[in-house]
Structure 1
Amino acid sequence: MFTGLVETTGTISKTESAAEGRRLRVETAFATDLAVGKSVAVSGVCLTVERRSDDWFEAFATEETLGRTYLSDLRVGDAVNLERPMPADGRFDGHVVKGTVDATGTVAGIREQAEGVEFVFDVPNSFAGYLVEKGAVAVDGASLTVADYGDRSFTVAAIPETLQLTTFSEKDVSDPVHLEADVLAKYVERRLAVEVAQ
């Protein structure tokens, strides 16, 4: 389990197709804090560390993961957000983020503000129902608060610290983003569906 509090960023230094998926190498000093066989969130996608050195780690993305995300579009030099799982005795901030991407959205607008940047994201219909005002959403693995939403979009405000710690400062309009809904919304949806069916 993750919290959506991105710890640092890394840079894709190598990608290669492999049987039933794709292998990614991420260059980052953060690699010293990782262990082979353990999980790491790469722009919101939970992957397993296969190899590591002091300044890089490698992880494998299956075809199913590639089909749900934009990981197959990553190229050498692209930046990614990184987060380790929350330790059992750790302080819980952010919100519950599983690292299982629900959908891919698109940056629809970027507006500079006095303190930070406002982002507008277009989302598929299947994801829009999980959005509520002031609710939590994970965008590329970062826990953000929904400021406003419409039928096919939502808005968030990224504060300077978020811009500094994540890849959001490098985003452009039309760039893809990974989206993960608050798992609490999914439980509510499931419960209501069961009640309606009874």
Structure 2
Amino acid sequence: MFTGIIETLGRIHEIQKERDNLHITVDSSISSELKIDQSVAHNGICLTVVAIKDSLYTVTAIAETILKTNIGSWQEGDIVNLERAMKLGDRLDGHIVQGHVDQTGKCIGIEEANGSWNFTFEYDSIFSNITIEKGSITVNGVSLTVVNSKTNQFGVSIIPYTFENTNFKSFAVGSLINLEFDVIGKYVSRLYNK
């Protein structure tokens, strides 16, 4: 379980393909604090640490993860948002995030707003995911509040701290991003549509 509050950034050091799996080695400031078998969210994707050496650690993504996320498009040198699982008893500063990406989306608009940024994203309706105005959404693992909720489209407003301390600063129109929709909203939607 995560909160969507990004702890630090990591840089993709190496990607190795083995059959249907990807072994991804990340260089990060938290590597020495990790342990084998620990869950870490990478751009919102919950992955298990399988190896650690110095400032590097390795995680493995299987075919299902590659299919449902943007992990297959990652390249060596890319910057990823990192968050370790929340500790029981800590404040829940973002919202309940599982680290289970529902689908990818695409950045379709970026507007600088005199000290903040407005991003607009579009997603495919095939999975029947929804957003609601002022509801929660996770974009590349970042817990955000939805603005301008529309069918298959929504916006978020980003403060300077979030822009500088996440990989939002590397987004461009056309960037493929990971989306995890609000877990409570997903259950309500599922019950309502029965």
Report the TM range for the smaller structure's normalisation.
over 0.9
How do 1:21-170 residues align onto structure 2 when only pairs under 5 Å count?
A: 21-126=21-126, 129-170=129-170
- Residues 1:186 and 2:183 aligned together: no
Q: Is contact 2:9-2:80 (8 Å) kept?
A: yes
Q: How many residues align structurally?
A: 194
| Distance in 2 separating the partners of 1:188 and 1:151 | 17
Deviation at 1:193, TM superposition (A): 3.2
Unpaired stretches in structure 1, ≥5 consecutive residues: none
Q: Is contact 1:70-1:176 (8 Å) kept?
A: yes
Higher mean C-alpha displacement, 80-89 vs 15-24: 15-24
Q: Deviations over 1:67-124 (max 9, x none)?
A: 0011111111111000000011211110000010101000101000112111000111
| Distance in 1 separating the partners of 2:41 and 2:180 | 12
Q: Which amino acid in the other structure matches residue 38 of structure 1?
A: Q
The alpha-carbon distance between structure 1 residues 32 and 86, as it changes in their structure 2 partners (threshold 3 A), is: same
Map of 1:174 onto structure 2: 174
Q: Deviations over 1:8-65 (max 9, x none)?
A: 1111010010133110011111212211111000000000000113311100000110
The TM-score, its normalising length taken from structure 1, stands at 0.94
**What is the aligned-residue identity percentage?**
37
The TM-score, its normalising length taken from structure 2, stands at 0.96
The alpha-carbon distance between structure 1 residues 171 and 94, as it changes in their structure 2 partners (threshold 3 A), is: same
Q: Could you say what the CA RMSD is over the residues aligned between the two structures, in angstroms?
A: 1.2
Higher mean C-alpha displacement, 117-126 vs 170-179: 117-126
Map of 2:2 onto structure 1: 2
| Distance in 2 separating the partners of 1:103 and 1:49 | 23
